[in-house]
Amino acid sequence: MSATNGQSTLSIRDLHVSVDDAEILRGVTLEVGAGEVHALMGPNGSGKSTLANALMGHPAYDVSAGQVHFKGHDVLELETDERARLGLFLAFQYPAEIPGVRVASFLRMALNARRESEISVMEFRRLLLDKMQMLRMDPKFASRYLNDGFSGGEKKRNEILQLAVLEPELAILDETDSGLDIDALRIVADGVNRLRGSELGVLVITHYQRLLNYIEPDRVHVMIDGRVVESGGKELAERLEAEGYERFAASAASEET
């Protein structure tokens, strides 16, 4: 399958984002079509997580210029929860802990926020157990407090569980692979691949090519220093693995001057 041949679901144009007055994103342009999987790769500090947080509307990330459209809506005009209800999803690198709130009750409320009419308790239970089974999770997990005392791997798996239950149209996976052992990585990737289809678009943010062995991207983008410096097919990820980011960093720097 080739690049953005479908209608673009997420369209980012010349996005500039600052945190505490320091500009981190310096003109990002990126398109993700419906049902496509894109990988965003880059070294530490290149701005990948900033992009993820800014797309979801984190209040600490200040958008100074550029445009983001999702399903034709001007995303930058929307609050975080409105973006979510529109079908945007972020699997967090460091999910927040919410003591005292059970995974199941949280997820039911989140699902209801996305729906026109409330899902019945029984129907929700079936749905949740089904998705947990797919991700090979212990049913007891549903009655634990949200991320409270979870291991790193449990947190990541919980993010994918939420993705599976909420069925967004575009999911951003922010370094979902970090902190996962190879078995957990396979299960998570498996889950994403099952959800992947005609509807779900995915933006996979990662340092390493490792995850892309399991989630095969349609497109790969390289981010250096707050800009996308190169885009290509999946072979670009393999090249990065072999050559490192040095070459791109150098060309980004020369572009600067």
List residues binding another protein (CB under 8 A).
56-60, 79-81, 83-85, 89-90, 92, 95-101, 106, 109-110, 113-114, 145-146, 162, 166
Minimum separation from the CB atom of position 172 to another protein (A): 10
Minimum separation from the CB atom of position 98 to another protein (A): 5
Minimum separation from the CB atom of position 102 to another protein (A): 8
**Which residue number, 99 or 149, has a Cβ lying nearer to another protein?**
99
C-alpha distances out from residue 257 to 18, 160, 253, 254, Å: 21, 42, 7, 5
Minimum separation from the CB atom of position 55 to another protein (A): 10
Minimum separation from the CB atom of position 94 to another protein (A): 8
Q: Please, is 201 exposed, middle or buried when counting C-beta atoms within 10 Å of its C-beta (0-12, 13-18, 19+)?
A: buried
**Which residue number, 98 or 250, has a Cβ lying nearer to another protein?**
98
Count of alpha carbons within 13 Å of 169, Cβ hemisphere only? 17
**Which residue number, 38 or 108, has a Cβ lying nearer to another protein?**
108
Return the structure tokens found at 87.
């079908």
C-alpha distances out from residue 156 to 10, 65, 153, 180, 209, Å: 24, 32, 5, 8, 18
| Rounded Cα gap, residues 236 and 104, in angstroms | 40
Return the structure tokens found at 148.
């409270």
**Which residue number, 150 or 245, has a Cβ lying nearer to another protein?**
150
Which residues sit opposite 203 in a β-bridge? 38, 172
Minimum separation from the CB atom of position 91 to another protein (A): 10
Minimum separation from the CB atom of position 95 to another protein (A): 6
| Rounded Cα gap, residues 214 and 125, in angstroms | 29
Return the structure tokens found at 250.
């150098």
**Which residue number, 12 or 165, has a Cβ lying nearer to another protein?**
165
| Rounded Cα gap, residues 86 and 71, in angstroms | 8
**Which residue number, 56 or 204, has a Cβ lying nearer to another protein?**
56
**Which residue number, 52 or 240, has a Cβ lying nearer to another protein?**
52
| Rounded Cα gap, residues 58 and 25, in angstroms | 14
